[in-house]
Amino acid sequence: MIICIVSRIVTSIFYIEDIDSLRFFLSAIDFNILEGRPHFPGYPVYCFILNVISFITGSISISFSLIGAFSIFSIIYFSNKIWHLKFKKKSYFLIFLIIFNPFLWIMSNRYMPDILGLSLLTISTYYFLVYRKYKLKKSYLILAFTIGLLSGVRISYLPFVLPFIYYFAKQKEIKFFLYLSLSILLWLFPLILMFDFTELWQIFIR
């Protein structure tokens, strides 16, 4: 964890790379989907986390890096747990590969939610595999909650979890979909309260 935090803070970006980065930067100052801070669908869970951390640190740029550091750590942790399910041991090469992967490093400093979305996707994959192997009810409840958060962080990653959802649909696991719905409502309901539903709907249509 310390290596992840230090390495990302040291390489923090203090300039705007593109228009999307600008929108996410501005969302930490004044979150407003209707005015494109950030663009639709608004990534409310990510922006909420960003706002909380930037309030604590006093630096928006450092806050992006801290989110990236925690995301990289969770990717390492759950990737190794997935590896352990198959091979019953840790892979130090896998840890090294993820920490120093140039693409993941860039994404963990960038003013975008991609790396946090990837960490939630990795967590979802682990708990799906655990449920498939051990049939632990707790696993699919955590999985449902994680997918709900993922939809509020990086909705374009949802196609990757469609096989999980299809699996539970075939199993007729009603509780899974109940917890998934509640997880989505946790961030969707406050978002509707913040902005006019009609305007949000019009942005969605466009």
CB burial readout 162-188, b (16+ within 10 A) else e: eebbeebeeeebeebeebbeebbeebb
**Nearest residue to 56 (alpha-carbon basis) of 24, 28, 98:** 28
For 35-46, what is each residue's pLDDT tens digit?
A: 888 988 889 999
Provide the sign of the torsion angle of the four alpha carbons 61, 65, 70, 74, taken in this order.
Answer: positive
Task: Please count the other Cβ atoms lying within 10 Å of the Cβ belonging to residue 99.
Answer: 17
Tokens of 161: 């979890």
For 8-24, what is each residue's pLDDT tens digit?
A: 999 999 999 899 999 99
- Please tell me whether the overall predicted TM-score, pTM, comes out greater than 0.75 for this model: yes
